Structure 1
Amino acid sequence: MATNITWHHNLTHDERKELVKQNGATLWFTGLSASGKSTVACALEQKLLQEGIQSYRLDGDNVRFGLNKDLGFSEKDRNENIRRISEVSKLFADSCVISLTSFISPYRADRDAARKLHEEANLPFVEVFVDVPLAVAEQRDPKGLYKKAREGLIKNFTGIDDPYEAPEHPEIHLNTHEQSVEECVSTIVAYLKQKQIVA
């Protein structure tokens, strides 16, 4: 634990909202590999930016090229991966950016901790469950990861030899084997407008 540190205050979140004319929030996309998390998050990011709403996507693969390149896929490393992303997405939300986090985040306790972190800072947190049957995810398998996991070439793979704990009460529940990307984006935007997170 770091010592001899001080949080330097500047603008309050409400003051920042007034200046940038936008609210911040974190949309936490969770689901199996190949469920469509990143596909939907990418389309949503484009939609929000086209409407002049600042947003930024934090992707499970992308952050492992830099911020989390020292982490593997053990349960301990997965926990730390999500802890770091929770803190980063909270900073984005506090800066009045819509943060779109796209992570398998298989453990309910880790997602609950991310939610609590945002709630304690009075920042909106929206859990988006990108749901798809395992058989469909395996059939899609765009990176060939399920095939490798079935062959024993990848260990600790969620859905095969590691568990996925589905959200019990997500704010948004998408079924990407039944809904198009456009339908998923429309569902999310409608929710954000209903909750007055975006205008």
Structure 2
Amino acid sequence: MPLPLTKVLINTAAAVKARLLLAHGAGAGADSCFMQQLAQQLAERNIEVWRFNFAYMQRFIDTGKRSLPPKMPLLQTEFSQQINNSPADLPLFVGGKSMGGRVASMLSQHSNVKAVFAFGYPFHAPKKLNWRTEHFATLASLLFIAQGERDSFGTRDELAAMQWSDVTMHWLTDGDHDFKPRVKSGLTQQQLIAAAAQFCSRSIDEILLAAK
């Protein structure tokens, strides 16, 4: 039995070239400041963004009662239903912030999905080294990851010796898990979010061009 779909927040684009179905991270919903800024930056690059809340997050928004995210299979089912509900009028890409990006990466085999984008991939829990990359060896489509160099869920140093054939990493200078750099870097979170959006847009352009 299909689960009820939560409301979709849409950022339209002036000369739209693709649609990105974007899921939130574990602790903040689709309308968080980060998600709003990222969606706006993507829309400015002609990517129509559809943001949605997983059911557990929508319950928290509606009732004020916080709960932990459910297990991955249920999150995958919810995300898959959003994919199935997306119109076929534009090339479809999927992705998400942290946990949302991880869920999206597990749906790479979906026939409608052109590629996957993760914004701050949770390679492991902070200070723990139980890696969440087993499925990287069997991805059915390309996975693009924009990652802060200081991300406690997977730093540039930790990942220096790792590579996967279908995964492309783009490092954001001095960024943490929310793409916030230190003041001494001379950069801002807004600049790093914009850089992540530009990486996404450029990658989509290359995929669409290759498909012609």
When normalised by structure 1's length, the TM-score is 0.48
Name the structure with the higher strand share. 2
Larger RCO (CA within 8 A; separation ≥ 6): 1
Name the structure with the higher helix share. 1
Between structure 1 and structure 2, the one with the greater Rg is 1
